Homo-oligomer: A and B are copies of this chain.
Amino acid sequence: MTVSIPSLPHDSDHHDTKARILEAAERLFMEHGFSATSLRLITGEAKVNLASVNYHFGSKEALIEAVFTRRLAPLNRERVTQLNLLEAKADGNPLTVEQIIDAFVMSALQMGDDHSETGTVFLRLLGRAFSDPGSGVRSLLAKQYSEVVARFKRALAKALPDLPEKELVWRMHFMFGTMAYTNAGMDAIQLISSCTSANSDDQITILKRVTKFLVAGLKAPE
């Protein structure tokens, strides 16, 4: 069906079918949500046959899981690595809350840079998924996040020795909420800004802002 060039030299921009499905799905899931994104839309955008998603992934549900595991696993591995690095450098001394949150937030940024534009797309998708009720997405996220969350909880407990555990758990919950929403609705900032002056900032500035916000919230006096 390719009319213009019968056989371009299987060069760049031609990923294999599987990867093209993953990329199109990632972006479209972010734009329209999971249940509102049809396989026909995905395969149409990826320029692959409809049946190939079932051939390569088995089902739509499995495709959703594949979209997440592809990016989430490396991201959370990086986060734990960064935290380990910090603690090794601190040599027993407790880290500051700033350092810990920085390790968590900025790892996401690095992933964003690694994969250029597609990384930020995934970050927003991640925010969406956290509040998506359907299917097994939530339980999948729980599994993928349980390790890194436990790790950061331990570090934060050491940095905030006077904060009861229950209080810490809730504040981490709020923290995840802020991040999820910030990622998901980066474009929705216009909802609350009458002037459009806030849009000109790049992602790193925004992440520094959210870090400052989160650190203050976590350190709030009892």
Q: Which residues of A does B touch, CB under 8 Å?
A: 30-33, 35-36, 127-128, 130-134, 138, 141-142, 145-146, 149-150, 153, 165-167, 169-174, 176-182, 184-185, 188-195, 197-198, 206, 209-210, 212-221
Contacts and interface: CB of A to CB of B under 8 A. Distances in A.
A202 to B, nearest CB: 13
Given A181-B131, A214-B217, A149 B191 contact: yes
A149 B181 contact: no
16 contacts: A32-B134, A33-B132, A36-B134, A127-B131, A130-B181, A131-B180, A146-B191, A167-B209, A169-B192, A169-B198, A170-B198, A171-B209, A177-B180, A178-B181, A215-B220, A216-B216
A213 B198 CA distance: 23
Contact of A30 (B128, B133, B177, B215): B133
A161 to B, nearest CB: 18
B167 A174 contact: no
Contacts of A31: 133
B177 A182 contact: yes
A193 B177 contact: no
A96 B35 CA distance: 44
Nearest to A211: B220
A210 to B, nearest CB: 6
Nearest to A177: B181
Given A176-B181, A192-B176, A197-B166, A171 B131 contact: no
A200 to B, nearest CB: 9
Given A33-B35, A169-B198, A172-B192, 20 more contacts: A31-B133, A32-B133, A32-B134, A33-B33, A33-B132, A35-B35, A36-B133, A36-B134, A130-B181, A130-B185, A145-B191, A145-B192, A153-B192, A167-B209, A169-B193, A174-B181, A174-B209, A178-B181, A214-B217, A215-B220
B133 A131 contact: no
B131 A185 contact: yes
